[in-house]
Amino acid sequence: MVVLELLFLVCLLVFLGLTVILFMLPVILAWVPVELAPGLELTLRLLRIMFPYMLLVCLAAVLMGMLNSRGYFFIPAMGATMLNVVMIITVLFVAPRFGETPSTQVYALAFGILVAGVLQVLFQLPLLYKDGFRFQWINPWNNETVRRVVSKMIPGTIGVAAYQINMLTTQSVAALFDFKIVGGFNYAVRFMELPQGVFTISLATFLLPTLSGFAAKKDYRKFTDTLNEGVHHVVFFNLFASVIMIILAEPIVRLVFERGNFTPADTVRVALALKCLAPGLVAFSLVNIFARGFFALGDTSTPMKISAVCLALNLVFTISALFALGNAGSLGLANSLSAFFHVWLLIHAFKLKLKDFDAKRLTDQLHPILLAVILSGLSAAITLKLFQASFSMESFMARVTCVFLPALVSLSIYLALGGALKVRSALEILQLFEKKWKSA
C-alpha cells in the first residue's frame, strides 16, 4: 500500500500540472497581444464565447444527479439531448444568417452551445420544483455537508474520469510524434463513445443511487447481487459491440467519414486505431461500473489512487507502443492494456473492501457468452466477405448495407445463442421482445 500511495501522489502532481497547462494556456494566450495563426486565433475566440458553458453543464449535471437520486431518469436523460437539438437547429437555420464563410458562421454554433447549456438547466427545473426543491444560499465555509461533498468530489472526479484522462494523456504524448496519429485516434474514440454513452453510462447512472440505497441499509448481499448483475449486462452487450467494431471497422469508418478530404488511406488509419481500441471497450465500461460501486460505499479515494497508477502505466504503454508501432493503433493498444489493468486493480480492491463480494461470480456466465460472441462474430465476418465479393462499395446504400447487414445477422445469432445457452442478459432481452410483440 505504501508503493500505491507514493505512485498516487506522484501521478496526482503530474495530472494537476498537465491540467493547469492544458486549460489555462489557451485562456492566457487569448489575451496576449501576439500574432497567432488564423486557426488558433479562431479557436481562442470561440473558446472565450463558449467558456461559460462549462459552468452551465456542471450545474445541469448536479440537477441531473439530484433527480437520479430521487428515482427520475427519463427527464434528466432528455435534458442532455438539448445540446444536440440546439446544435442541429443552429447549423441548419441560424448559422447561414451569420455570414458567408464557415469561419464566421461557426460563431452561431458557439452561441448556440451557450443557449443549449441554459436549456439543459431549465429543462430539469420544473420536475425538481414539483418535488420540493428550491434554490437558497448556504454558506459553504461553515457547512459540514459542503465540506464532506468537496472532500469526496475531488478524488471521485479523478476516479470516474479515468477514461477521459487516459485519452487526453495519450494524445498529448502522441502529438510529439505525429499529429496524424492523434487525428486517427480521435476518430476511433468517437465510435467507442457510442456504446459507452448509450448503455454503460446509462446503467452506471441507474446503479449509483440503487447501490447507495443498499449500502445505506447495510444490505451488502443485495448490493453485490445488483453489482454482479450490472457487470453481466455490461460484459454481454459491450463484448458483442467490441467484436463488431473489430470486424466491421473499415466499413463503419468508410460509411461515416469517407467523403470530401477524408480519403481511403484515412479510413485504413482510423480503422486500425478502432481495431486496437475496441478490445478495451469492456474494460473501459467495467471501470465505470466498479467506480460507482466504490462511490456507493462512500469510498472515492480508492478509485482515484488506482486511476493515478493506471495513468502512469498508460504513459509507459503509450511511449512503448509509439516507438514499436508508430501508428494510430499505438494509442488504442496502450489504452486497452491500461484499461484491463485498471479493472483488475479495481476488482482486487473491491474484494478487500467488501467481504461479501465474490469475484468468481463475475465470470459464472463468461464461457457461454464467449461461445456466443465467437460464433456471432464469425457470422458477421462471413456475411461481410460475401457481400463485399458481390457488390461494389461505391454507392451509399451499398456502404450502409455493408455495415448493417452483417451486424444484424450477427446480433440475431448472438441473442439466439445467448437464449439457448441460458445467458441471463439474453433471456431478459428476448422476454422484453416477446412482451412487446404480444402487446402490439
DSSP string spanning 269-297? HHHHHHHHHGGGHHHHHHHHHHHHHHHHT
Residue 39's pLDDT is what?
A: 63
Residues spanned by the domain of 126: 37-136
Query: Could you tell me if residue 19 is inside a domain?
Result: no
Residue 203's pLDDT is what?
A: 78
Query: Could you tell me if residue 355 is inside a domain?
Result: no
Query: Following DSSP, what letter does each residue of 21-58 receive, concatenated?
Result: HHHHHHHHHHTS-S---HHHHHHHHHHHHHTHHHHHHH
Query: Could you tell me if residue 103 is inside a domain?
Result: yes
Query: Could you tell me if residue 368 is inside a domain?
Result: no
3-class SS at 419? helix
Residue 16's pLDDT is what?
A: 59
pLDDT in tens, 75-100: 777 777 777 788 888 888 888 888 78
Q: Where are the alpha helices (DSSP H) in 354-423?
A: 366-390, 396-420
Query: Could you tell me if residue 42 is inside a domain?
Result: yes
Query: Could you tell me if residue 102 is inside a domain?
Result: yes
- CA-to-CA distance for 413 and 377, rounded, in angstroms? 9
Instruction: Using CB atoms within 10 Å of the CB of residue 298, give its burial: 0 to 12 exposed, 13 to 18 middle, 19+ buried.
Output: exposed
Classify the phi-psi angles of 262: left when phi > 0, otherwise alpha if psi is within -120 to 50, otherwise beta. Answer: beta
* Residue appearing with cell numbers 447481487: 225
| Exposure string for 232-244, b = 16+ CB within 10 A, e = fewer | bbbbbbbbbbbbb
Query: Could you tell me if residue 145 is inside a domain?
Result: no
For the chain, residues with pLDDT lower than 50 are: 1-8
- Read off the amino acid at residue 154: I
3-class SS at 139? coil
Query: Could you tell me if residue 111 is inside a domain?
Result: yes
- How many structural domains compose the chain? 1
Residue 375's pLDDT is what?
A: 94
